[in-house]
Structure 1
Amino acid sequence: MKKIIILAGNGLLPKLIINKCKLKKIFFYVLYFSNQQYLEKYPNALKVTFGNVLTELKKLRKKGFNQILMAGSISRPNFKDLKPDLNSIKLLPKFVKKIMEGGDNNLLKLVINELERFGFKILNLKTFLPEIFLGIGNQTKFKPSRSNLLDINKGMKILINNSKFDIGQSIIIQHGSVIGIEAAQGTDNLIKQSYPYLRGINQGVLIKMVKKKQDSRVDLPTIGLKTVKNLKKYSLRGVAYSANKTIILNKIDVINYCESNKIFLFGL
């Protein structure tokens, strides 16, 4: 029987993976990094820290778990909270070096490389849970205008160029003007913070894209119901996303909300 470890962060995604494992009768074990009440009841789940996760992974490896799915948002660790055990302390110099270099890609590449070195296979979420992705083109009956398409094209070019700096996956543009670029604040705060700088309503566009050369097994851009509700609340016309590479949580609800509120959902 296939045995999968779910390295779980915050959000809905780990729940969806657990449900899929149950449906497919896949034996799973969850290692989670923050307080998750729904996981506390599972006998096959354990809360871990960055300091002891490697030890727990090695224990599971001995029990036949050799595949990993990484899901959900995980905050960067604070140096003073690391408290590495004997297994993790060997990796501490590499880990600290990548944190100091900044950016998520550097850190995630290190994590993946080390996990593979220990004999784990990192699974691709697109293969395991294809139903949470959307394809190319319009996903609602509301299409981006010519002006929106020009903004989308400009946003794509900026995000592709910014990939080398590893600074974010989202940008908001209105009539050719860059209103805001995502950094550490996240997409929802980007939308909120950009609102005072918009000229008129329902004209700005959110563009979310994978970074150039990004490993598709981790940290994919994500759109959820909260995201599209914020588009409506803060007067944005719609969102363009990387087709087949962007996680759409509550996909049916997201599409229905966009339809009801005249928001476009456009795959690139």
Structure 2
Amino acid sequence: MAVSTPETEPGPLGLIAGGGNLPVELVRNAARNGIGEIIAVGFREYTSPEVQAGAAHFEYIGIGQLGKLIRIFTSRGVRRAVMLGSLSPRLTIADVRLDLRMLMLAARVRDRRADSVLSAIAGEMARDGITLVDCTTYLKHLLATDGVMTRATPSKKQWTDIRLGIKLARASGGLDIGQTVVVRKHAVVAVEAMEGTDACIKRAGALAKDIVVVKMSKPEQDFRFDVPCIGLDTVRTLADAHGAVLAVEAGKTFLLDREKTLELADAHHIAVAGVTPGQAEEA
């Protein structure tokens, strides 16, 4: 007899939909992933209208309305949920109106790092029988593959920069600073913080050309909340910065609009490669 897991449990799937294409991809591919019904909540100015159109039920909530989110899910039989899409990292330090349940949770959270807040939210949802599942569960077809994915291939010197970038990006991620590092000629040009990957690349491009961008998952990445992600905008930004290489962690990074993204990289002679932590430069 098959054992039910949160991923395979029958009933509707709850979707907490932020901005970008990931929530849209889930809705578009619901049938192929055996998802019968999606109950979605979204955020004004972030969530795509396509999510609302494709969900069996959709409601907008405020950023701090945890109680409302849980009520929507429990009232419609949701026992498993996934969190997809982006919200501004600055929201963790912004003045946001919180409902009573979120206020009580905020009083217990040890700090305002995104992982701390989101982990506490997952725990609060679990108290009402809702399990938050890995973001990649239903979108494995979007994960970057191992090896070079473009016609352009990193040079020997660029591979040296990639190996250094892997090591540094993992260290930065482990400190919950950022997951992207930019390297040029074995020197660190920029490290991502709250501004995000694209802004980090722009900053690095103002300092150096032919940069090598490395984006990795954190050593203790919680894939319920956050999966590194690249796409057309990333490559456009790197092209504008006259960058040369984009290396991402294989199997743990979403590659959106794969065909178009790699075509754009080829058009700008940018090498895109999937790498692993084992390829890091030795200390």
- Using the size of structure 2 for normalisation, the TM-score is 0.84
Question: Deviation at 1:184?
Answer: 1.0
Structure 2, unaligned runs of 5 or more: 1-9, 276-283
Whole-angstrom CA distance in 1 between matches of 2:256 and 2:65: 30
Pairs within 5 Å for 1:22-33: 24=34, 26-33=36-43
Of 120, 123, 128, the residue aligned with 1:113 is 123
Of 93, 100, 105, the residue aligned with 1:91 is 105
Whole-angstrom CA distance in 1 between matches of 2:140 and 2:48: 27
Secondary structure of the residue that 2:39 maps to in structure 1? strand
Q: Which amino acid aligns with 2:160?
A: L
Aligned length: 260
* Bigger mean CA deviation after superposition, 124-133 or 21-30: 21-30
Q: Which amino acid aligns with 2:134?
A: N
CA separation of 1:128 and 1:37: change in aligned 2, threshold 3 A: closer
Of 150, 172, 177, the residue aligned with 1:140 is 150
* Cα RMSD (Å): 2.0
Q: Is the 8 A contact 1:170 1:206 kept in 2?
A: yes
Q: Which structure has the highest helix share of the two?
A: 1
Of 96, 107, 110, the residue aligned with 1:81 is 96
Q: Is the 8 A contact 2:174 2:220 kept in 1?
A: no
CA separation of 1:154 and 1:185: change in aligned 2, threshold 3 A: same
Structure 1, unaligned runs of 5 or more: none
CA separation of 1:22 and 1:78: change in aligned 2, threshold 3 A: farther
Q: Is the 8 A contact 1:50 1:84 kept in 2?
A: no
Question: Deviation at 1:2?
Answer: 2.9
Whole-angstrom CA distance in 2 between matches of 1:129 and 1:212: 21
Whole-angstrom CA distance in 2 between matches of 1:9 and 1:130: 19
After TM superposition, what 4+ stretches of structure 1 lie above 3 angstroms from structure 2?
Answer: 22-25, 39-43, 77-80
Q: Is the 8 A contact 2:61 2:68 kept in 1?
A: no
Match of 1:18 in 2: 27
Q: Which amino acid aligns with 2:262?
A: I
* Per-residue deviation, residues 145-195 of structure 1 (Å, max 9, x unmatched): 111111111111112222332000101100011110000111111111111
Of 176, 179, 184, the residue aligned with 2:186 is 176
Secondary structure of the residue that 1:51 maps to in structure 2? coil
Q: Give me the identity figure in percent.
A: 23
Q: Is the 8 A contact 2:144 2:248 kept in 1?
A: no
Whole-angstrom CA distance in 2 between matches of 1:81 and 1:121: 25
* Per-residue deviation, residues 172-226 of structure 1 (Å, max 9, x unmatched): 100011110000111111111111211xx4x310000001111122211110101
Whole-angstrom CA distance in 1 between matches of 2:48 and 2:165: 39
